[in-house]
Amino acid sequence: MKKHLRVNTAIFDMVSTAPEAVDAYDEIKVNCALCLTSTRSKQLLATKTFGVNTAQLVDVGDDENVKVMSFNGFKVLSANIEPPKEPTIVVVNGGLVIEDCDKKSFDQFKGLYINGVAFHPKSLDTSNFMVNGGMIPYPDGATLIFQGLKLNNSFLRSSVRGSTYFVQGVPSNLNELNHDLIGKMQQLLKETGIVAVEPLDLELLANKNIRFDTRWLTVSEDNAEHLLPFVEGYVGVTIIPSGFKIMQGGKLDRLAIRRFGTRIYVDGDLQIHAEEADALVAVEQLQVSGKVIVADSLADAFFAKCTQYGNVTVYQGEWIEHVGSDALVDSEALEQSEEGATFRFVDANVEISTDTPVGLLSEKLHRIILQDSSLTLGLGQHKALNKKIENHKSDIIIREHIPQIEPKQEPETKAYTETYINTAYFKL
């Protein structure tokens, strides 16, 4: 019986593959981020059924003595690392931070291959780097801060005179950025940059000659003029008007008024629901950098007090929001809402119950907003709701259009055995 090998790995190393390793299988299929080959290994595999899907292919030629030094996750390296005795390739699957030092190259290695992101001093020679991801330079001699920085007088007093601080945080919701990464990039940069909205001792800042390097600066109008000359590298600036307090998105309610006062700059999205009319009455001035969701009964008051905002959704009835997992819209849910409802679903599988009458949907369901979700409903239900569905990268599935599943045929008996391997590093 024939033998097949299936490998899923970050690094597939076949630099010094022996003939017996190849002869053990009739077919080899590989999915990897980096594939290391040599002249001889390619000749050996040419005699077999061999396929590889890879982001990077590195051929070391006839030099089969090359060793691989691999790291997974977050690794810190210095160019002063002791040279290996044999020719060596460094492979990093994740993140690499290169410390600044007197030596400005990694010429002790044949190459560095990074599947992820690399932070390095600006003066470092990166000619032997190959990166599937991003290279982020930082000023030579800078102190690295890998989190967002809230700049205040305590930080200024404790800082070292003449220092440069490189601020590049890691987003807290990194695993949620698979949808609309470009659209979320600005908010991502803000979260990982510098926020300087507290009153600062600007004389102390100037005397210490402290400098900053970051991608985004959020600064109060009172601090902006004096702080901006000390900040480099930014691609964007958010200036908070004088007298306003900053709120990082959310809902406008009584607690928000207690925390942020009556002049609020919302750096993000804002929701204002009908039951929070008293909170909106208490607001003197409001500015919103992102999207706004507001109850129809409060829309006029909102527009009268808010001078800056993004896209606005004015909804009717009760606001019902569901994030993740499965959700069912049925007659019971609609009948419980006297004034009807507006639904918003995010990353959810939504179904409208088959026994929900079309008349009830037309009367009680004012709008259904879908974000990265799926909605399953009947043909008649879809006709009634077609103009009420707001679709953002979501699927609409009509039951009557779902094809009938044919009975499964008995699978054919395989004439071969398969070996599956999932690992970070695999050497053939």
Confidence of residue 17 (pLDDT cuts 50, 70, 90): confident
Confidence of residue 182 (pLDDT cuts 50, 70, 90): very low
For residue 63, is pLDDT > 50?
yes
Alpha-carbon distance of 166 to 340, in angstroms, equals 52
CA distances to 138, 146, 155, 165, 367 from 143, in Å: 9, 10, 13, 5, 51
Q: What is the pLDDT of residue 157?
A: 95
Q: What is the pLDDT of residue 19?
A: 86
How many other CB atoms are found less than 10 A from the CB of residue 141? Answer: 12
Confidence of residue 87 (pLDDT cuts 50, 70, 90): confident
For residue 241, is pLDDT > 80?
yes
Tokens of 54: 């890879």
**Triad 414, 420, 426: Cα angle to 5°:** 145
For residue 411, is pLDDT > 80?
no
361, 384 contact by CB (below 8 A): yes
Alpha-carbon distance of 361 to 385, in angstroms, equals 7
Alpha-carbon distance of 368 to 371, in angstroms, equals 10
Q: What is the pLDDT of residue 213?
A: 96
Please, which residues have CB within 8 angstroms of residue 290's CB and are 6 or more apart in sequence? 187, 249, 266, 267, 268, 269, 270, 310
119, 145 contact by CB (below 8 A): no
Instruction: Reduce the DSSP state of residue 76 to 3 states and report it.
Output: strand
Q: What is the pLDDT of residue 138?
A: 94
Condensed to tens digits (0 to 9), the pLDDT of residues 96-136 reads 899 999 999 999 988 888 878 899 999 999 998 888 778 89
Please, which residues have CB within 8 angstroms of residue 158's CB and are 6 or more apart in sequence? none
- What is the average per-residue pLDDT within 28-41? 87
Q: What is the pLDDT of residue 171?
A: 55
For residue 188, is pLDDT > 50?
yes
Confidence of residue 60 (pLDDT cuts 50, 70, 90): confident
Q: What is the pLDDT of residue 410?
A: 67
| Averaged pLDDT score across all residues of the chain | 88
- What is the average per-residue pLDDT within 302-330? 93
Please, which residues have CB within 8 angstroms of residue 417's CB and are 6 or more apart in sequence? 1, 2, 3, 4
- What is the average per-residue pLDDT within 3-28? 87
Domain positions in the chain: 2-64, 67-138, 143-240, 245-315, 319-400
